Amino acid sequence: MTRQLARWELDGVDGAVVVIDVIRAFTTAAHAFASGASEIYLVGTVDEALAFKAAHPGTLAMGEAHGLRPDGFDLPNSPSMVSEADLEGRTMVQRTSAGTQGVVRAVDATRMWAASLVVASATARAVETSGLGAPSYVITGRFVDRPDRGADDVLAAELIERARLREPLEARATAAALLSTDEAARTLLLGLPHVDPRDIELAAAVDAFDFAMEVERAELGLRLVATPVA
């Protein structure tokens, strides 16, 4: 049986874990891969991201703190801006306030994927072929003091699960619902240069890409890789 969990409910959660951040972390990560990035390391703090970048010359840092691009980061947490960057062969390090926090906390996962609507069906196929059974979905947009948030991530979790069960995706209705969420409105209010007006539209593009993004525990840390899924 699937579960939808908050980031603070992950102790002891094993099996297949799908960490979701639609607006915007894992939409941004998907666009980074589409722009040529070879790998993305996921970290919990701004200082960790900057330290990783300093220790590994050529690495680009992307992400946000409270929605805003931190000093020293090369790119904000913007799928639109990332999609326009030349990232061919580049290593990235990403830190966000919700998405990467969920990955960092899912320490007991047997296998873990980072997901958003743009990689929904590919993620569903990857989870299903893993043989680990029903996944746990992490709704990273929820916060301890704001447990009502994360509607965008819930929409994605429900669509991924429909895809896994080979039910109708309801992609158009899901995209429309996403565009009208409070999360979308709050994010757009951040404005340039931290948010591009096209970011939410890109986040609503169900199955824009045919790869899943799996998190590997590598020597240098939590490494996100894009894997095409037939």
Pairing of strands 211-218, 16-20: unpaired
The answer to whether 93 and 32 have CB atoms below 8 angstroms apart is no
Structure tokens at 82: 């990332």
Distances in Å between the alpha carbon of 5 and those of 27, 34, 141, 178, 217?
20, 29, 11, 20, 22
pLDDT band, residue 210 (cuts 50/70/90): very high
φ, ψ dihedrals at 55, nearest 5°:
-80, -15
What is the reported pLDDT for 146?
A: 78
**pTM reported for the whole predicted model:** 0.96
The answer to whether 98 and 21 have CB atoms below 8 angstroms apart is yes
Q: Percent helix, strand, coil in the chain (nearest 5)?
A: 35, 25, 40
Distances in Å between the alpha carbon of 195 and those of 34, 60, 75, 87, 184?
19, 18, 11, 19, 11
The answer to whether 204 and 117 have CB atoms below 8 angstroms apart is yes
Give dist(CA 193, CA 207) in Å, integer.
Answer: 27
What is the reported pLDDT for 220?
A: 97
Rounded average pLDDT over 65-81: 96
Q: Cβ–Cβ contacts within 10 Å for residue 128, how many?
A: 18
Q: For the segment 118-161, what is each residue's pLDDT rounded down to a tens digit?
A: 999 999 999 999 999 999 999 999 887 777 789 999 999 999 99
Report the chain's C-alpha Rg in angstroms.
16
The answer to whether 141 and 153 have CB atoms below 8 angstroms apart is yes
pLDDT band, residue 75 (cuts 50/70/90): very high
Write out the H or E segment, with its range, that includes residue 227. strand 221-228
Rounded average pLDDT over 89-114: 98
Q: Cβ–Cβ contacts within 10 Å for residue 126, how many?
A: 23
φ, ψ dihedrals at 150, nearest 5°:
95, 20
Rounded average pLDDT over 43-57: 98
Could you give the 3-state DSSP secondary structure of residue 53?
A: helix
Give dist(CA 131, CA 63) in Å, integer.
Answer: 32
